[in-house]
């Protein structure tokens, strides 16, 4: 029984010497029946065996801007809003406000400079950076309404 050898085209044919084709049988070996080795080309290759560029789908053209827009609305914009709210909070601090620092220290503002806030906690005065103030605790109004609810 004769042994039949099949030759598969190599996708890296463009790096080979053009005189040696990967889909041509070696010398002395029988050619596959019913095929013309000069017309056989690998997927992604033209009729002449040259590599053809594969087109990028239209889906890729709209996916990149959509991904960038999603990143903006899900990550960048909320962070900018939080930063703006924190700056407004720090600008609205005044003497006598009860504040809570980001470490959880509760105190009353006794004095301020451009960069620091001095808090009175019981009988002790402590100086913090302004950026260490996490929130201002506003007293509820006498009529029982919440001042935060009035803003909304």
- Between 34 and 58, the higher pLDDT residue: 58
Predicted confidence at residue 99, as pLDDT, reads 95
Q: Please name the residues in contact with 130: beta carbons below 8 A apart, sequence gap of 6 or more.
A: 90, 93, 112, 114, 115, 116, 117
Q: Please name the residues in contact with 44: beta carbons below 8 A apart, sequence gap of 6 or more.
A: 11, 51, 52, 54
Predicted confidence at residue 150, as pLDDT, reads 47
The token duo for 144 is 């029982």
Annotated domain spans of the chain: 1-54, 59-91, 94-151
- Between 57 and 11, the higher pLDDT residue: 57
d(CA 151, CA 93): 17
Mean pLDDT computed over 3-7 = 67
Instruction: Answer yes or no: is pLDDT of 26 > 90.
Output: no
pLDDT confidence bin for 148, thresholds 50/70/90: low
d(CA 10, CA 16): 10
Other beta carbons within 10 angstroms of residue 133's beta carbon come to 22
Q: Please name the residues in contact with 132: beta carbons below 8 A apart, sequence gap of 6 or more.
A: 101, 102, 103, 117
Instruction: Answer yes or no: is pLDDT of 123 > 50.
Output: yes
Instruction: Answer yes or no: is pLDDT of 117 > 80.
Output: yes
Predicted confidence at residue 44, as pLDDT, reads 54
Positive or negative, the Cα torsion across 122, 124, 127, 128?
negative
148 burial class (0-12, 13-18, 19+ CB within 10 angstroms)?
A: exposed
Average confidence score pLDDT of the chain: 76
Instruction: Answer yes or no: is pLDDT of 21 > 70.
Output: no
Residues of the chain with pLDDT > 70: what percent?
A: 55
CATH architecture, domain defined by 94-151: Roll (2.30)
The per-residue pLDDT for range 77-113, each reduced to its tens digit, is: 999 999 999 999 999 999 999 999 999 999 999 999 9
Average the pLDDT over each of 58-62, 117-121, 130-134 and give the range with the smallest value. 58-62
Predicted confidence at residue 109, as pLDDT, reads 95
């Amino acid at each position: 029984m004769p042994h039949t050898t099949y030759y598969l085209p190599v996708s890296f044919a463009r790096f080979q010497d053009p005189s040696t084709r990967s889909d041509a049988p070696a010398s002395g070996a029988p050619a596959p029946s019913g095929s013309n080795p000069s017309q056989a080309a690998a997927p992604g290759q033209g009729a002449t065996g040259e590599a053809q560029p594969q087109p990028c789908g239209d889906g890729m053209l709209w996916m990149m801007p959509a991904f960038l827009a999603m990143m903006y609305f899900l990550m960048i914009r909320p962070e900018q809003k939080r930063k703006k709210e924190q700056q407004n909070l720090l600008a609205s601090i005044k003497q006598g406000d009860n504040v809570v620092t980001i470490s959880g220290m509760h105190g009353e503002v006794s004095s301020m400079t451009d960069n620091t806030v001095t808090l009175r906690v019981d009988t002790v005065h402590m100086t913090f950076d302004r950026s260490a103030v996490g929130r201002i605790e506003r007293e509820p109004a006498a009529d029982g309404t919440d001042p935060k609810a009035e803003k909304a």
